[in-house]
Structure 1
Amino acid sequence: MAHVLVGILVVWIALDLLEANRANGVVDLFHNVADWLAGWAIGLFDVASRTGQVLLDYGIPAVVYVVIANVIAGRTTARA
């Protein structure tokens, strides 16, 4: 499940950096979900470049979610 959430964040990063049309419903959906998933990290760091800001705002949560998912998966498979 966490990999799906990370996928949403990665798709949003690509859509944002490629300047997808935010009036499009699908783009808007990805934007809203990504903002909700990354809300705790948006603005955590301020950088001068727009690309860097997008990568930090949405990339940090993506990495955190993958790490947490892998730790949980590792612990559950170790017990099985």
Structure 2
Amino acid sequence: MARRYGGNPAAAIILIAADIAVLILVLWILFFVFDANRANDLVDWVHHAANWLAGWSKDLFTVDNAKWRTVLNYGLPAVVYTLIAHAVAGRVRRA
């Protein structure tokens, strides 16, 4: 598995953690956009985890359409976490 992430175990851990965070954020976007049952335990857990992960960007965009607002406010942290993780993992690999 470390080979898939560049061969360095520390870099692999950083990228895996970012992948998990991004997965949670994208899952919440999909659950919201496709009107998943919020009474479901998995949907509720993903919602709470995504809220925590996107806490710094919540309500950054205030478009009128709720689905677009969710895509923007939870998609931005997903992109930021991906970019930061790849930058940090690249530095760790070179060290």
TM-score, length basis structure 2: 0.80
Instruction: Supply the distance in 2 between the matched residues of 1:45 and 1:10 (Cα, whole angstroms).
Output: 17
Partner of 1:54: 70
For the aligned residue pairs, the C-alpha RMSD in angstroms reads: 0.8
CA distance in 1, matches of 2:79, 2:39: 28
Q: How does 1:1-80 map to 2 (within 5 A)?
A: 1-79=17-95
Give the greater-gyration-radius structure (CA). Answer: 2
SS at match of 1:20: coil
Unaligned runs of 5+ in 1: none
Gaps of 5+ in 2: 1-16
Aligned-pair CA distance for 1:24:
0.6
Count of residues in correspondence between the two structures: 79
Higher helix share: 1
The one-character-per-residue Cα deviations of 1:15-41 (angstroms, maximum 9, x if unpaired) are: 110000000111000000000100110
Distance across 1 between alignment mates of 2:25 and 2:38: 15
Q: How far apart are residue 49 of structure 1 and its match?
A: 1.5
**Equivalent AA in structure 1 for residue 21 of structure 2:** L
CA drift at 1:52: 1.3
One-letter amino acid of the structure 1 residue matched with residue 88 of structure 2: I
The TM-score normalised by the length of structure 1 is 0.94
> Secondary structure of 2:74's partner?
helix
Identity of aligned residues (%): 47
